[in-house]
């Protein structure tokens, strides 16, 4: 029997605001432990939360970008449970009236378009951070993260392969980065993803029993964990076993999921309206205003790049796949209006430098530098090859391209007399190739051009050298 | 509505309250009469009433996204039963 996986993803995104959701403590990653805390985020008696207006705006932007409806009346609820990272013993969240519902995201997997429904987007606060020092009987608690704003984005079980999940996550992250509301850095925990997965025979409508997967630390880990879990569940079913509804942890090293096997008392969160926060309202005009404030989203930018610059969809997709890269491209364009040439340089050599060091700033690369290099190549001052080594040097040292050309003496030799001299020398020691060419062997010309390039230390202008050589060989 | 001893113990556990056997019976009676009153309220027709989200007639109380000083960690930590450096220290919890 053939089985298919049915996958739903629950994504938590930290909103990049200056302050926490309900108090004025800094919302900052990497501060010294317990330095951004106050009576509100510690849940001390008598303190009252007040909502950060920016949190609601950022959340609404995301909801609208994901094509969701926005509720006109918003309230918060308490989710009650005990855990050492939760100082108030409840989390401020949203239960029966989430900020947004009925959203969707269109993705393309292997050329096939799919619409993934997004069930809900709601706001809540994050918990603190627990550290478990090895070999001790204690855990350490840092409340810097407690009370920072989190957005929970829950998809419908519309994903039907681990690859669907991977593409959905990548596109979601990109959209969030374009909106500018989150870093979406899984390593820093600013984006976290849990996955629900069940399997069913292809063609069956009824859903199977699902397992919840946790502890994936990258999008690739999500994909691999889902691949593993799909196989595990299919194997179980084929062996005549039943799937148990449970939470399973992904073990990156063992590349397997393991049942948490905790007592797993049924959760009873006793949600009730948060009495310390008043309700909030959005007028239709508010929503319109927020929609208007949305920046160009990745899909729109892709469309524009294809339409305005005549790029293939594949190249355009590479350019928009990182907001910084796309912004850099457009900044270059303002200085040097050659979209295709800039795109080629970015997608080729620049991207290969970026791979190891993912920011333009770290690469010392500015739009001015890059367009300068491209124009040096285009006007024949340096060869294409030299252009690439200038780029490497800029990345290495941050020196201006002009300086590098001078210092390394990379200027291309286009001077006819100088080239003729080199050609004579090359012809003298390669008589056979000269004869071969005379005998009609076209290949010999390319060989001789190669020799000229070599003799000139790669600096001969290849086009002029070729023309001069062809002329010189005709004479013999 | 009557409530069982088991339910009282379950609720006490959710609230992390330790009850003696006599207290369980005591609270069973009290909670039972509260629920009895709720049963009475349930008979009122509220089908045309929107559930209330807040007792006060206020809405849209915001704060600007401006950083305010946090409090001195030492002041907070002096109340902690146990600490290590600037961390709160608790018995090991691991999922
Ligand atoms: Zn605070």
Q: pLDDT tens for residues A87-97?
A: 999 999 999 99
The reported pLDDT for the residue numbered A261 is: 65
Distance CA A317, CA A298 (A): 9
Rounded to the nearest angstrom, the distance between the alpha carbon of B74 and the centre of ligand 1 is 15
What tokens appear for B72 in the block? 């001195």
CA distances from A365 to A341, A348, A372, A378, A404 (A): 17, 15, 11, 19, 14
On whether any CB of chain B is under 8 Å from the CB of A430, the answer is no
Half-sphere exposure of A210 (CA within 13 A, CB side): 15
What tokens appear for A314 in the block? 């594949």
Q: pLDDT tens per residue, chain B (95 residues)?
A: 689 999 999 999 989 999 999 999 999 999 999 999 999 999 999 999 988 888 888 999 999 999 999 999 999 999 899 999 999 999 998 75
Phi/psi of residue A109, each to 5°? Answer: -120, 120
User: What's the average model confidence in pLDDT over A423-427?
Assistant: 87
Please say if the pLDDT value at position A289 is more than 90: yes
Q: Which is higher by pLDDT, A48 or A437?
A: A48
The reported pLDDT for the residue numbered A84 is: 93
Chain B residue numbers with beta carbons less than 8 Å from the beta carbon of A281 are 59-60
Rounded to the nearest angstrom, the distance between the alpha carbon of B57 and the centre of ligand 1 is 26
Chain A residue numbers with beta carbons less than 8 Å from the beta carbon of B65 are 17-19, 52-55
ipTM over 0.90: yes
Give residue A262's pLDDT band: very low, low, confident or very high (50, 70, 90): low
Distance from CA of B68 to the nearest CA of A (A): 5
Chain A residue numbers with beta carbons less than 8 Å from the beta carbon of B75 are none
Give residue A275's pLDDT band: very low, low, confident or very high (50, 70, 90): very high
Rounded to the nearest angstrom, the distance between the alpha carbon of B69 and the centre of ligand 1 is 9
Q: Smallest Cβ distance to A37: which of B59, B68, B73?
A: B73
Q: List pLDDT tens digits, range A335-368.
A: 999 999 999 999 988 888 877 656 777 778 889 9
Q: List pLDDT tens digits, range A265-274.
A: 567 899 999 9
Task: Report domain extents, chain B.
Answer: 5-42
| Interchain contact, A19 vs B67, CB within 8 Å | yes
Give residue A413's pLDDT band: very low, low, confident or very high (50, 70, 90): confident
The reported pLDDT for the residue numbered A384 is: 83
Rounded to the nearest angstrom, the distance between the alpha carbon of A218 and the centre of ligand 1 is 29
Distance CA A86, CA A412 (A): 66
CA distances from B43 to B20, B29, B34, B36, B37 (A): 35, 22, 15, 12, 10
Question: For the purposes of burial, counting CB atoms within 10 Å of the CB of A266, is it exposed (0-12), middle (13-18) or buried (19 or more)?
Answer: exposed
| Interchain contact, B76 vs A33, CB within 8 Å | no
Distance CA B46, CA B48 (A): 5
Chain A interface disruption, residue of B15, B60, B72, B81, most A CBs within 10 A:
B60
Strand B62-63, strand A51-52: pairing = parallel
Chain A residue numbers with beta carbons less than 8 Å from the beta carbon of B67 are 18-19, 24-26
Collect residues with CB below 5 Å from ion ligand 1.
Answer: A 23, 25, 38, 40-41
Q: Which residues face A258 on adjacent strands?
A: A249
Half-sphere exposure of A224 (CA within 13 A, CB side): 16
Give residue A475's pLDDT band: very low, low, confident or very high (50, 70, 90): low
Look over chain A and give the mean of its residue pLDDT values, rounded to a whole number. 90
Rounded to the nearest angstrom, the distance between the alpha carbon of A39 and the centre of ligand 1 is 6
Roughly how many angstroms between the first and final C-alpha of chain B, as a whole number?
Answer: 38
Using CA coordinates, name the residue in chain A closest to B10: A268
Look over chain B and give the mean of its residue pLDDT values, rounded to a whole number. 92
Distance CA B40, CA B44 (A): 8
H-state helical runs in A186-338: 219-238, 284-293, 298-309, 313-320, 323-335
Half-sphere exposure of A258 (CA within 13 A, CB side): 9
The reported pLDDT for the residue numbered A357 is: 58
Q: List pLDDT tens digits, range A101-147.
A: 999 999 999 989 999 999 999 999 999 999 999 888 999 999 999 99
Distance CA A212, CA A229 (A): 10
Strand A280-281, strand A90-93: pairing = unpaired
Distance CA A350, CA A367 (A): 12
Strand A138-142, strand A90-93: pairing = unpaired
| Interchain contact, A25 vs B67, CB within 8 Å | yes
Distance CA B45, CA A208 (A): 40
H-state helical runs in A180-239: 219-238
The reported pLDDT for the residue numbered A356 is: 61
Contact A46, A18 (CB under 8 A): no
Q: List pLDDT tens digits, range A299-313.
A: 999 999 999 998 988
Please say if the pLDDT value at position A47 is more than 70: yes
Run of H or E including A125: strand A112-125
* DSSP 8-state code for residue A413: B
For residue B30, the Cα-to-chain-centroid distance in whole angstroms is 18
Contact A249, A262 (CB under 8 A): no
Distance CA A23, CA A143 (A): 13
Domain annotation for chain A: domains and CATH numbers: 3-286 (no CATH), 296-408 (no CATH), 416-474 (1.10.10.410)
Enter the CATH code of domain B5-42. Answer: 1.10.20
Using CA coordinates, name the residue in chain B closest to A87: B88
Phi/psi of residue A361, each to 5°? Answer: -60, -45
Determine the number of helices (DSSP H) and then strands (DSSP E) in chain A. 17, 17
| Interchain contact, B54 vs A138, CB within 8 Å | no
């Amino acid at each position: 029997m053939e089985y298919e996986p049915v996958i739903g993803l629950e994504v938590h995104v930290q909103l990049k605001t200056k302050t926490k959701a309900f108090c004025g403590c800094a919302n900052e990653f990497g501060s010294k432990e317990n330095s951004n805390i106050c009576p509100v985020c510690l849940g001390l008696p008598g303190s009252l939360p007040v909502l950060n207006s920016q949190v609601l705006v950022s959340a609404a932007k995301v909801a609208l970008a994901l094509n969701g409806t926005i509720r006109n009346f918003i309230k918060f609820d308490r989710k009650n449970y005990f855990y050492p990272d939760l100082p108030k013993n409840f989390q401020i969240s949203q239960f029966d009236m989430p900020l947004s519902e009925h959203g969707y995201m269109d993705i393309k997997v292997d050329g096939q378009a799919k619409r993934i429904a997004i069930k809900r987007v709601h706001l809540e606060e994050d918990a603190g951070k627990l550290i478990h020092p090895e070999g001790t009987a204690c855990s350490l608690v840092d409340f810097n993260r407690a009370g920072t704003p989190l957005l929970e984005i829950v998809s419908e079980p519309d994903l039907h392969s681990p690859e669907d999940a991977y593409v959905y996550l990548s596109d979601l992250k990109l959209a969030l980065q374009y909106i500018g509301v989150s870093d979406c850095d899984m390593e820093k925990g600013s984006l976290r993803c849990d996955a629900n997965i069940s399997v069913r025979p292809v063609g069956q409508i009824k859903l199977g029993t699902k397992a919840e997967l946790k502890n994936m630390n990258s999008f690739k880990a999500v994909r691999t964990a889902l691949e593993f879990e799909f196989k595990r569940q299919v194997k179980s079913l084929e062996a005549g076993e039943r799937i148990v509804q449970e939470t399973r942890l992904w073990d990156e090293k063992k590349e397997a999921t393991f049942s948490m096997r905790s007592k797993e008392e049924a959760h009873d969160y006793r949600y009730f309206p948060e009495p310390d926060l008043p309700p909030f309202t959005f007028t239709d005009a508010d929503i319109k205003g927020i929609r208007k404030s949305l920046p160009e989203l990745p899909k729109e930018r892709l469309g524009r790049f294809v339409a305005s610059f005549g790029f293939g969809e594949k190249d355009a997709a590479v350019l928009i796949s990182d907001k910084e890269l796309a912004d850099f491209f457009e900044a270059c364009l303002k200085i040097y209006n050659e979209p295709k040439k800039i795109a080629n340089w970015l997608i080729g050599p620049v991207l290969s430098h970026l791979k190891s060091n993912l920011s333009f700033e770290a690469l010392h690369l500015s739009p001015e530098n890059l367009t300068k290099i491209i124009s040096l190549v285009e006007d024949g001052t340096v060869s294409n090859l030299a252009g690439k080594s200038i780029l490497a040097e800029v990345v290495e040292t941050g020196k201006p391209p002009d300086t590098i050309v001078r210092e390394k003496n990379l200027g291309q030799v286009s001077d006819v007399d100088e080239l003729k001299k080199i050609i004579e020398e090359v012809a003298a020691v390669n008589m056979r190739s000269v004869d071969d060419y005379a005998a009609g062997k076209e290949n010999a010309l390319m060989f001789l051009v190669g020799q000229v390039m070599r003799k000139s230390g790669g600096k001969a202008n290849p086009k002029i050298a070729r023309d001069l050589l062809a002329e010189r060989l005709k004479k013999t | 509505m009557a409530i069982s001893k088991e339910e009282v113990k379950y609720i006490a556990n959710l609230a992390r309250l330790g009850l003696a056997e006599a207290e369980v019976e005591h609270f069973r009676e009290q909670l039972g009469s509260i629920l009895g009153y709720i049963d009475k309220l349930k008979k009122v027709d509220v089908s045309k009433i929107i559930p209330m989200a807040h007792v006060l007639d206020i809405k849209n109380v915001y704060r600007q996204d401006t950083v305010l000083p946090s409090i001195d960690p030492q002041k907070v930590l002096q109340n902690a039963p146990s600490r290590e450096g600037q961390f709160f220290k608790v018995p090991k919890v691991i999922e």
